[in-house]
Amino acid sequence: MKLPLALLGALLVALSSVARGAKLRSPPQVLSSSGPSRRNSSLSAPAASTQNGTVALAASNLAAHARLPFSARTDAAVGKVWALYYSNYAGHKATSIEATETYAPGTRGETPWHQGAPLPVPSCSLKLRTQTNYPTENREANLRLAEIAVCDYMAGTGGSVPGCGASGTQVCELSLMVPAPSDDGLFEPHNAAAMALVAYSRLCAIPKSAYEQGQCAVHSSEKAILGGLETSGALRALPSTGFIQLKMEAAYELGLTQVVLPSSSETDYHATTHHQNSTDVLKWTREPPAATFCGNFACVVQQFMR
């Protein structure tokens, strides 16, 4: 049977409309050279969008942080101090060492060694740890030396470690944020005093009310510390005159006005060109940083907490 031409035309138009509607309702094909297709992805569209957004935001924040100029000016704060060393995390020749609010029961762990001998157990139930689960030998020694200095200082001033709910053989563990230096062997041994300072500041603040915690703040604006510790609480001497010269040059570049150094390095400091030129106004575009010397941890506390 032959269909009239008019009816045949109407049928063709209708079939064409159905085909176009089916094409519009079908899911689009997503082609990407930078990630899996939707069919192969284990993430739903909202989850994938959230993950991509988070990664992009983190990358953006990191890039922005890397572009930020260094500012030595900072408000007094509990558990924060400038340490004069370079870390990839900070991207500058000074790094902020911080004591977090994480304070909980823990275990003492193995005994670290320092200069070929095991370090003694601290006189109080304090344990310090940092953000890494794989600390270097120098980092482990620094943490123990800081524990010893803080415990001895608190005992000497009539204080004690605040409680954390520890029981039995447990100790109270305080977490620090200490970015790894660019050279562990060269810079890490001279960061223990900064670790001890921020730890003591945080422990001082824990039992106090919010209104009283300002008494425990570290005043580190335009001021940094450089020095390791001995088991006696004395600040460890810096390696050489050249080392001190480089550090004072870095302090000047960063706009610091004061650097606290070990008293045992005072003679080496006086041999630096930084010191020799310090009173020559023609050598500087602004006032160079001054060196202050401390013989022990008690002096460090007095310099930064007032």
Q: Helix crossing, 192-205 with 297-304: angle to 10°?
A: 60
Q: What is the pLDDT of residue 177?
A: 97
pLDDT of residue 68: 74
User: Is residue 27 situated within a structural domain?
Assistant: no
Q: How many domains, in total, are found in the chain?
A: 1
pLDDT at 116: 92
Residues of the domain holding 272: 80-304
CA-angle at 152, arms to 151 and 156, nearest 5°? 120
Residue 202's pLDDT is 98
Cα–Cα distance between 251 and 226 in angstroms, integer? Answer: 11
How high is the pLDDT of residue 283?
93
What angle separates helix 137-156 from helix 192-205, to the nearest 10 degrees?
50
pLDDT in tens, 237-247: 999 999 999 99
pLDDT of residue 11: 53
Task: Collect the ranges in the chain with pLDDT lower than 50.
Answer: 1, 3, 5, 18-64
The pLDDT of residue 133: 86
> Is the pTM of the predicted complex or chain greater than 0.75?
yes
- Taking the C-alpha atoms of residue 302 and residue 147, their distance in angstroms, rounded to an integer, is 18
Q: What is the DSSP string of 249-300?
A: HHHHHHT-SEEEEEGGGHHHHHTSHHHHTTT-GGG-SSPPPEEEEESBHHHH
Confirm whether 231 is domain-assigned: yes
Q: Is residue 142 part of a domain?
A: yes
What are the structure tokens assigned to 288, written together?
A: 């160079």
Res 118: pLDDT:
97
Task: Report the alpha-carbon distance of residue 32 to residue 34 in Å, rounded.
Answer: 5
What's the CATH code of the domain at 143? 3.30.230.10
Give the span between the Cα atoms of 301 and 156, in whole angstroms.
13
CB atoms within 10 A of CB 75: 9
Nearest CA among 37, 36, 42, 13 for reference residue 27: 37
Question: 29 Cβ partners below 8 Å, 6+ apart?
Answer: none
Find the distance separating the first CA and the last CA of the chain, reported in whole Å: 107
Model pLDDT, residue 58? 44
Is the residue at 53 inside a domain? no
Question: Is 243 within a domain?
Answer: yes
Inside any domain, residue 278:
yes
For position 24, what pLDDT does the model report? 40
Question: Cα(141)–Cα(188) distance, rounded to whole angstroms?
Answer: 10
- The pLDDT value recorded for residue 14 is 53
